[in-house]
Amino acid sequence: MLMFKPNLWQIPTIPHDVQQQLAHKSEILIERLKQIAERHQAAKFASSLAVEDMLITDLIVKCGIRIEVFTLNTGRLNPETLALLEQVEQHYPTLTLQRYFPQAAAVQAYVHTQGKNAFYDGVEQRQQCCFIRKVEPLNRALQAADAWLSGQRREQSLTRTELPFSERDQARRIAKYNPIFDWSERDVWAYILRHQVPYNRLYQQGYPSIGCEPCTRAVKVDEDIRAGRWWWENKDSKECGLHTQSV
């Protein structure tokens, strides 16, 4: 008996017009990054190692822009993501990629009281896990920062359609920037492929959006690109808490 195998999302083909506009969009992005660095004494970029974040990291390093890059190792990352961490440090020998981990005691308490995979049981349990593994480490990473950057784009989900370039992180009382807020998925991939920027091999397996291993799956070609993130939840609740405190 033949088993039906769904067509999975694929890295997009890049139309000629997108390729032609790439140099101009890149110049604008470089200026945005330079302006952020000039406005702030301690701007930091939170990289999830997604292609969007790899694009921004590539420009920060190549242009020598004074923005610190850090990442959050949640303890539940895919092997492919961990492999990319090592590859990034080899590819950019001048980059100091700071890594932040969750508090071991908080993880142990969650596992003991809720269960290792309790995030499947409800939004509250999932958000609690995200807070322990992502939000609290992010808070520590940003303690000495006066601004931080994300790789969010308007096109990514319904919760980000009004995303601005600059906003205020009220909870942390610092500025926040989304420098590629107006880039399309094809814009991002055009840059990644043209400049041979390292990227997570899960993208080649139908993963257009990658988080922790148990909370991420491949998506079909006709699904939303974030459909594989917390796929058991309503689409309106699909945020981990990292980006929900800014206005």
Tokens of 125: 């349990």
Q: Is 240 labeled as catalytic in the residue annotation?
A: yes
CB atoms within 10 A of CB 105: 9
Number of C-beta neighbours around residue 176 at 10 A = 24
* Partner residues linked to 69 by β-bridges: 45
The active-site residue, picked from 130, 212, 215, 240, is 240
Q: Are strands 68-72 and 98-100 parallel, antiparallel or unpaired?
A: parallel
Cα(135)–Cα(139) distance, rounded to whole angstroms?
6
Residue type, 54: M
Residue 137 has, within 13 A of its CA and on its CB side, a CA count of: 24
- Quote the CA–CA distance of 127 and 136 in Å, as a whole number: 12
Please identify every residue annotated as catalytic: 240
